[in-house]
Amino acid sequence: MKAVVLHSDVPEDAGMDEKDALVQAAVVSSALAELGYEPTTLPFSLNCARIIDMLRDLQPAFVFNIVETMAGQGSLIHIAPSVLDFLRIPYTGATTEAMFLTSNKVLAKKVLNAAGIATPPLFMPHENDGGHFAEGTYIVKAVWEHASTWLGSDSIIHASDHNQLREAIASRQKHIGMACFAEAFIEGREFNLSLLAGDGGPQVLPPAEIRFDDFPQGKARVVDYLSKWVEDSFEYHHTPRSFDFSDEDAPLLLRLKDLALRCWQVFDLRGYARVDFRIDSAGKPWVLEVNTNPCLSPDGGFYAALERSGLTFIQAIERIIRDAKPA
């Protein structure tokens, strides 16, 4: 059977984060071939008419959707599943609705709050009464992009009043050219929990903690762009992923597992996902982000969690396909 691996269109001058899409497309295609499919990789660009024509010509049994951006913009991530819905082609991963809600971090936080799932308090620049402001440390993020994109140590500020925070958001928006918001910065431990669809429902893979080893005093403990993509940086080499925990962490890990499963249910997810958490000094978990198409590269967290669980990448791909949205 024919299968299309739909991925972000990557320009020649793209950064390492965007080029990773090609690595993911290659490993997914290899897995599909081993499962007996005939894979074709297809970059997803702004030329939707051309993409539609090509998909109609290929007539795949399904599309493995790993599109993260369109024309380099995370705000268009939901267009890919929308096109597949229009064509009535089965596809893997989150539905259009879930992709839209989770990718817009402001909307995602509102959905989480409505479900009673704790997420760091939000501050939007258009609020003019300061009613939701409390003095403290904030992190300024792009509304649509993945959390590490455009994120650096300068994204974290201490604000003493709402005007100061509003000015910081406006400055960041002007610098990166996209809408931003601020959320309370949770100082503490950081965890990633990956989930994989199964016949009996989603399986939570072994939890991972991102450690901040040897960070000097005053340096923000955050997984930023340097930590993920710049191999010669201090941050890259001092934020290792760990799957080893003491018995004292057992209650916390059970709580995180329950919250990850609730996030899957709240957003009605499919295939696979990853939920990122911060744990504050009182031991309370806060959901930072629900990622509906986490990186599938061999050096990524989802792949590492699979290995820790004893599952092979091919077994995971097979389960993701079985959970694909039907036509």
Main-chain dihedrals φ then ψ at residue 277, nearest 5 degrees:
-125, 155
Q: Which DSSP symbol is given to 287?
A: E
Per-residue pLDDT band for 203 (boundaries 50, 70, 90) equals very high
Per-residue pLDDT band for 256 (boundaries 50, 70, 90) equals very high
The whole-angstrom separation of Cα 85 and Cα 231 is: 39
Residue 130 reports pLDDT greater than 50: no
Average pLDDT taken over every residue of the chain: 92
Per-residue pLDDT band for 188 (boundaries 50, 70, 90) equals very high
Residue 89 reports pLDDT greater than 50: yes
pLDDT average, residue stretch 233-250: 93
Per the model's pLDDT, the better-predicted residue between 226 and 26 turns out to be 26
> Which residue's structure tokens are 């539609």?
52
> Two tokens at 292?
């509906």
Q: Could you give the strand order of the β-sheet that contains 62-65, starting from the edge strand earlier in sequence?
A: 38-44, 2-8, 62-65
- Could you tell me which residues are beta bridge partners of residue 242? 209
pLDDT average, residue stretch 73-78: 90
Residue 129 reports pLDDT greater than 60: no
What is the predicted pLDDT for the residue at 186? 95
Buried b (16+ CB within 10 A) or exposed e, 103-112: bbbeebbebb
Window from 135-144, 285-294, 306-315 with minimum mean pLDDT? 135-144
pLDDT average, residue stretch 260-277: 98
The whole-angstrom separation of Cα 279 and Cα 59 is: 46
Those residues with Cβ within 8 angstroms of residue 40's Cβ, 6 or more apart along the chain or in another chain: 2, 3, 4, 5, 58, 60
Per-residue pLDDT band for 148 (boundaries 50, 70, 90) equals low
Q: Which of 41, 50, 1 is nearest to 21 (CA)?
A: 41
Conformational region of residue 100, where left means phi above 0, alpha means psi within -120 to 50, and beta covers everything else: alpha
pLDDT in tens, 44-64: 999 999 999 999 999 999 999
Residue 80 reports pLDDT greater than 70: yes
pLDDT in tens, 91-101: 999 999 999 99
What is the predicted pLDDT for the residue at 241? 95
What distance lies between CA 29 and its chain's CA centroid?
A: 21
Give the DSSP H/E element, type plus range, for residue 291: strand 285-291
Those residues with Cβ within 8 angstroms of residue 284's Cβ, 6 or more apart along the chain or in another chain: 118
What is the predicted pLDDT for the residue at 182? 93
pTM recorded for the entire structure: 0.93
What is the predicted pLDDT for the residue at 147? 47
Residue 286 reports pLDDT greater than 90: yes
Per-residue pLDDT band for 79 (boundaries 50, 70, 90) equals very high
pLDDT average, residue stretch 20-31: 96
**What's the chain's length in residues?**
327
